[in-house]
Amino acid sequence: MSDLAEALRDTAQAVEARLSTLIPETDGAAAPLYKAMRYSALGGGKRLRPFLALQSARLFDAGETGALRAAAAVELVHCYSLVHDDLPAMDDDDLRRGRPTTHIAFDEATAILAGDGLLTLAFEVLADPETHPDGDVRAALVAALARAAGMAGMVGGQMIDLAAEHRTLDLERIIELQRLKTGALIGCSCAVGAILGGADATAGAALDDYARDLGLAFQIADDLLDVEGDESQLGKGVGKDAAAGKATFVSLLGVDGARARAAGLVADAAARLDMFDSRADLLRAVAEYVINRGH
């Protein structure tokens, strides 16, 4: 097993355990909510964002306990966004990671509430003194995650994405959409590591630049998978963008053009981390992985 594969597996296990503790099983009257939240957050996913958070935190020798909590918080926001995006009124997806989506496995009301609960829990986790002893650090984490997740970030991006189904976007608009919808949270994943570790402005900016290149490469790879991917391996439907007539990086650049663009971005991303020398090797490796993954 490669170093990266091992590190990804370790992160996934640690994050899974942490999320399971944060969302307890309960037999109270609200049990279906907790069950739906656990269903939505546990048992799957590449845990890319937690991996970025943990690796970024290690660059600055931030404490592992706090880094894992921050990583879990970012993942909670990612999971909430999937639950709400999959809803019938939104992307109307029945399948996610090879399992029924939350509103299929439970019902729509429970899925809406589970998403709300996951989002809220993320901020509760960050604000807890267990995440970091310094209140200024905890508040900075909350601010960074809220900005990345909110109207000027992910939620805004999802709004633009929904609106885009009715018109054709050019490349500049697609990049802007991606920057909000997926880029902001990927950037935040690296940022929480920098915040926890008290990174200086230069190091923080280098990570920001890395995350921006990586986020864009990630989205291009996603668009490629929607065209070329194997539905059974992906665990979700493919060809949806084309069927919806949505402009994507592939429809605008072609398959070869998109692939070349993604490879260039990954090379750029790796170079952004020069100041960290070999300590950033896993961050460089995960960027390669992101554009070569099969799911």
Contact present, 183 and 256 (Cβ < 8 Å):
no
* Choice between 10 and 124, CB closer to a copy of itself: 124
62, 79, 142, 192: which one contacts a copy of itself (CB under 8 A)? Answer: 142
Tokens 């805004």 — which residue?
Answer: 156
Q: Measured at the alpha carbon of residue 154, what is the angle toward residues 247 and 123, in degrees to the nearest 5?
A: 160
CB of 258 to a copy of itself, least distance (A): 22
Q: Where are the beta strands (DSSP E) in the chain?
A: 95-96, 99-100
Q: Measured at the alpha carbon of residue 213, what is the angle toward residues 208 and 217, in degrees to the nearest 5?
A: 140
Residues 6+ apart with CB under 8 A from 265: 213, 214, 216, 217, 220
Contact present, 10 and 288 (Cβ < 8 Å):
no
Enumerate residues 21-60 that contact a copy of itself by CB under 8 A: 23, 29-30, 32-34, 37
CB of 262 to a copy of itself, least distance (A): 24
CA end-to-end span of the chain:
18
Contact present, 286 and 55 (Cβ < 8 Å):
yes
Q: Measured at the alpha carbon of residue 140, what is the angle toward residues 180 and 280, in degrees to the nearest 5?
A: 70
Q: Which range of residues in 64-72, 173-181, 212-220, 230-238 is near a copy of itself by CB under 8 A?
A: 173-181
Q: Which range of residues in 42-50, 59-67, 128-136, 256-264 is near a copy of itself by CB under 8 A?
A: 128-136
CB of 125 to a copy of itself, least distance (A): 8
Q: Which range of residues in 9-17, 171-179, 210-218, 233-241 is near a copy of itself by CB under 8 A?
A: 171-179
Q: Which range of residues in 51-59, 85-93, 202-210, 278-286 is near a copy of itself by CB under 8 A?
A: 85-93
Residues that bind a copy of itself (CB under 8 A): 23, 29-30, 32-34, 37, 84, 87, 89-90, 107-110, 112-113, 115-117, 119-121, 123-124, 126-129, 134-140, 142-143, 145-147, 149-151, 155-160, 162-163, 173, 176-177, 180
